[in-house]
Amino acid sequence: MRRLGLRSRVVPVLVVLLLGQMLVAMVTAAVRQTPTIDEPVYAGAATVYLKEHSLRFNPEHPPLGKLVIAAGVAVAQPRLDPGFDGDQTRLGRRLLYESGNDPWRVMLWARLPVIALTLAFAAVVFLFARELAGTAGGLTALALYCFSPDVIAHGSLATLDVPAAGFLLTAVWLLWRARRRPGRWLPWAGVALGAALATRMSTLPAVPVLLALSGVPVWCASKGAWRRRAARACAGAAAVGLVAVAVVWVTYLLVDPRLRWNPQQHVPEVHGLRGLMVELMPFPEPYRDGMRIQFGFENLPWEGFLFGRLYTGSLWYYLPAALLVKTPLGMLALWAAGAVTLLAVRRLRPAAPCLLAAPAVLLPAAMQGSRNFGTRYALFLPLFLAVAAGCVLVLRHRWVRIATGALVVFVAVSSLRTFPFYLPYANEAFGGPAHTRRHLHDSNVDWGQDLGRLAERLRERYRGERIWLVYKGSGVPSYYGIRAADPRKAPPERVHGVLAVSDSAAAKATGRLARLLESSRPVEDVGHSITIYRR
């Protein structure tokens, strides 16, 4: 009895500590980071949602994630002239830098709802794993989630990746719960699935998997001939699908009850099987046009960077390689052990399709994408596989518990050491955050987040010197007090002094910029995302 009482007191303390450190990490990042490349677009679209109830900006992503961001933007109450008719990138700049608003304040409030949602998904991870593997398994899963550098990095930004992955995991958890009470949990699973679809279209490949899983609880709860059970299972899956579709429609209607649609950007024509699929989708026209825009993006020749190689197009193995760099080593080991345990332990096998099938579909789909920009396209893995990793503790061997605890501590130390620079995290096998730029680029390392830190560094150590800057991001250097010229627009012999270059720009440097970097001496880095050179 005394042991049970102690456990009942210790578990809440551990949960609070884990959530508390995650909250501190995310809020610190949110306060210190300048806008990343995508955030001004989402914040701008959210502001137009609030002020004009118009869907015309950023149609390539559905509205729900931006409505979450809008909850914070509404508190900030930024000024924005109505009827802006530029593109969505110009809209973000107008909102943050050209309308008299404080970009620090606007972005902090835009990020706070996503931080709150990220913490809410931690509860889903804990409860799901606890149902499968007990309290110790729940705490293990929660620790892996709360210490995940990728989850912390993107959970502290006003972006859509964590919300989409979290809603998808919530849908799967509710489907698991529905195995005992289908009538109670299946409708809520449909709501969560609809929320995922209304946040990012990249969740669409998981729909067949989740609909198939939706039929299983109904089949198990039904009695009679197999045909009757099969009919009821199909009806249950159809009901979940209808609820999900309804959620998507409601999301669009919340922005504009009249569903006026006048896209601000060109919507490409999509032919063949893709075009037929878009036409058959039971979603609003803005959603289907957003899919057409996404397919148009897939046809563009994007540049990628992997292990020092600059290339055009995509590499099928890019995401697995990037995950190998950016996932803590202990987490990789526990992910693998958890997946094996789900398949090997008889009582856990019914949960294996829930936790492994959706990632098994989503990861290959993401690997086929043409934009090799970051592990954020596979952010569902730290959520689903954290729950799977907690299942290792159903094995009662003492050495399993010791090894699991040691690996969790290894993950925690690796994560805490990178504080507060979570976006450029790399594990110890690849040299840590200071060396990520040698292997990867873009949102893996440098997403424009350290312009404010660069401004502080230049004021502290290089005051009065000539500054040259190549910045890859959405921030406006002059707003932060950086007075710099572009070295690519000057004769090389005139480029002397301090040269600050975003690591993403350096990774893709060719021509004049490449020659300038070859003849310059790196002296320090800012946030592991911008390098300062002497020339």
Which of 247, 145, 233, 152 minimizes the C-alpha distance to 203?
247
48 in a domain, yes or no? Answer: no
Percentage of residues of the chain with pLDDT beyond 90: 86
**Per-residue confidence (pLDDT) for residue 170, from 0 to 100:** 98
If you search the block for the tokens 């409505």, which residue do you land on?
Answer: 67
**Per-residue confidence (pLDDT) for residue 224, from 0 to 100:** 73
Q: What is the 3-state secondary structure (H, E, C) of 165-214?
A: HHHHHHHHHHHHHCCCCHHHHHHHHHHHHHHHHCCCHHHHHHHHHHHHHH
Is 315's pLDDT higher than 80? yes
Is 106's pLDDT higher than 50? yes
The answer to whether residues 410 and 508 belong to one domain is: no
The answer to whether residues 493 and 358 belong to one domain is: no
Percentage of residues of the chain with pLDDT beyond 70: 99
372 in a domain, yes or no? Answer: yes
Q: What is the mean pLDDT of residues 313-328?
A: 96
Hey, what are 325's tokens?
């760099």
59 in a domain, yes or no? Answer: no
The answer to whether residues 393 and 458 belong to one domain is: no
Q: What is the mean pLDDT of residues 204-229?
A: 87
The answer to whether residues 377 and 490 belong to one domain is: no
In DSSP notation, 8-50 reads: HHHHHHHHHHHHHHHHHHHHHHHHHPPP-SSHHHHHHHHHHHH
The answer to whether residues 205 and 308 belong to one domain is: yes
83 in a domain, yes or no? Answer: no
Asked if omega into 420 is within 30° of 0 (cis), the reply is yes
Is 509's pLDDT higher than 70? yes
Residue count of the chain, please give it: 535
Residue with more model confidence, 47 or 274: 47
Contacts of 292 (CB under 8 A, 6+ apart): 267, 268, 269, 270, 278
If you search the block for the tokens 């609070």, which residue do you land on?
Answer: 16
Q: What is the mean pLDDT of residues 203-230?
A: 87
Cα distance between residue 311 and residue 513, in whole Å: 17
The answer to whether residues 410 and 465 belong to one domain is: no
**Per-residue confidence (pLDDT) for residue 7, from 0 to 100:** 65
Q: What is the mean pLDDT of residues 72-82?
A: 95
Is 225's pLDDT higher than 90? no
Alpha-helix residue ranges (DSSP H) falling in 345-450 = 352, 358-367, 380-390, 398-418
202 in a domain, yes or no? Answer: yes
Cα distance between residue 164 and residue 5, in whole Å: 38
Q: Write out pLDDT tens, residues 184-214.
A: 999 999 999 999 999 999 999 999 999 999 9
Is 2's pLDDT higher than 50? no
**Per-residue confidence (pLDDT) for residue 358, from 0 to 100:** 96
Task: Give the C-alpha distances (Å, rounded to integers) separating 496 from 22, 265, 465, 500, 521.
Answer: 43, 41, 10, 12, 11
The answer to whether residues 461 and 386 belong to one domain is: no
232-236, 307-311, 377-381, 382-386, range with the lowest pLDDT: 232-236
Q: Give how many domains the chain has, as a whole number.
A: 2
Host domain of residue 462: 450-534
Considering 396, 418, 440, which residue would you say is the last residue of a domain?
A: 418
The answer to whether residues 155 and 262 belong to one domain is: yes
Q: Write out pLDDT tens, residues 250-287.
A: 999 999 999 999 887 889 999 889 899 999 999 999 99
Task: Give the C-alpha distances (Å, rounded to integers) separating 88 from 48, 55, 122.
Answer: 11, 12, 32
Considering 418, 437, 466, which residue would you say is the last residue of a domain?
A: 418
96 in a domain, yes or no? Answer: no
The answer to whether residues 246 and 357 belong to one domain is: yes
* Cα 404–Cα 407–Cα 410 angle in degrees, nearest 5: 155
Q: Write out pLDDT tens, residues 417-467.
A: 999 999 999 999 999 999 999 999 999 999 999 999 999 999 999 998 999
19 in a domain, yes or no? Answer: no
346 in a domain, yes or no? Answer: yes
The answer to whether residues 276 and 375 belong to one domain is: yes
Considering 418, 435, 464, which residue would you say is the last residue of a domain?
A: 418
Q: What is the mean pLDDT of residues 290-303?
A: 92
The answer to whether residues 263 and 331 belong to one domain is: yes
In DSSP notation, 151-165 reads: HHHHHTSSSSHHHHH
φ, ψ of residue 456 in degrees (nearest 5): -65, -45
Which of 311, 181, 182 minimizes the C-alpha distance to 239?
182
Task: Supply the pTM of this predicted model.
Answer: 0.95
**Per-residue confidence (pLDDT) for residue 1, from 0 to 100:** 44
The answer to whether residues 270 and 387 belong to one domain is: yes
The confidence band for 231, taking pLDDT boundaries of 50, 70 and 90, is confident
The confidence band for 521, taking pLDDT boundaries of 50, 70 and 90, is very high
